[in-house]
């Protein structure tokens, strides 16, 4: 199961609530909480990458491509070393961001570099992916997300209105491609309501599949 959405959509605080509540609500199940980018070497390199500018021309194009492959490398290691082994042990894995973030975000950065980057990224990453059975997509107007982000210290590369609007469109497109996997959550509602809704959707899916 995965949590996806634009920066500032409140995923990470819901992830913290799920980490606290799910083991209490479903004590017979084992949960693993994880996130991308990870804390691995690839993840650390990526975070350093995200605080730099791209520069111009060919150098910028190369850097955007490098960034995609760093995200894919981080994801591949995450899948092989953490997600797949946990699933094999019968644990329920909940990831704060996963491969849809790569398709949605790098689907914007690579726009003028490859045709239809969102579809291309889905294709190239297919051999290194295990599809989640449920993706909670946090939907929030990008203007509101940016307001929330402005209250936080530090600023990452992707925290700009025009960019977040395109990422939001890409997430919606991913949902259209696989409507059964995605559940939309209205992230403009009070935090407690969003948390309860997320908890309810996850618990329902677990109950239905057991």
Q: Which is nearer to ligand TYD, 34 or 101 (CB)?
A: 101
User: Do strands 31-35 and 2-5 pair parallel, antiparallel, or not at all (unpaired)?
Assistant: unpaired
User: Which is nearest to 181 in space by CA: 98, 72, 124?
Assistant: 98
100 CB-near residues (< 8 Å, 6+ apart): 2, 4, 135, 137, 171, 174
Q: Which of 3, 71, 79, 183 binds ligand TYD (CB under 6 A)?
A: 71
Rounded to whole angstroms, the Cα distance separating 206 from 92 reads: 9
Q: Which is nearer to ligand TYD, 71 or 138 (CB)?
A: 71
Residues 102-141, mask of contacts with ligand TYD (x by CB under 6 A): x--xx-----------------------------------
User: Which is nearest to 20 in space by CA: 10, 31, 36, 9?
Assistant: 31
Within residues 171-210, the interface with ligand TYD by CB under 6 A covers none
Q: Which is nearer to ligand TYD, 92 or 145 (CB)?
A: 145
* Binding status of residue 156 toward ligand TYD by CB under 6 A: yes
Point out which residues bind ligand TYD (CB under 6 A).
7, 12, 36-37, 50, 71, 97, 101-102, 105-106, 156, 158
């Amino acid at each position: 199961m995965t949590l996806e959405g634009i920066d500032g959509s409140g995923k990470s605080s819901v992830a913290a609530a799920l980490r606290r509540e799910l083991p209490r609500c479903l004590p017979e199940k084992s949960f693993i909480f994880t996130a991308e980018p990870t804390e691995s070497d690839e993840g650390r390199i990526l975070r350093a990458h995200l605080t730099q500018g791209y520069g111009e021309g060919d150098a910028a194009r190369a850097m955007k491509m490098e960034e995609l492959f760093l995200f894919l490398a981080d994801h591949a290691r995450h899948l092989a070393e953490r997600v797949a082994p946990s699933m094999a042990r019968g644990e329920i894995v909940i990831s704060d961001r996963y491969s849809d973030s790569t398709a949605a975000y790098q689907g914007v950065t690579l726009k003028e570099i490859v045709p239809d980057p969102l579809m291309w990224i889905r294709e190239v990453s297919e051999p290194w992916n295990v599809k989640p059975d449920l993706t909670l997509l946090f939907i929030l107007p990008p203007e509101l997300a940016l307001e929330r982000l402005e209250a936080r210290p530090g600023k990452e590369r992707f925290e700009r209105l025009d960019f977040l609007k395109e990422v939001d469109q890409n997430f919606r497109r991913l949902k259209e491609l696989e409507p059964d996997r995605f559940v939309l959550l209205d992230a403009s509602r009070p935090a407690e309501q969003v948390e309860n809704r997320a908890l309810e959707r996850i618990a329902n899916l677990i109950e239905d599949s057991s």
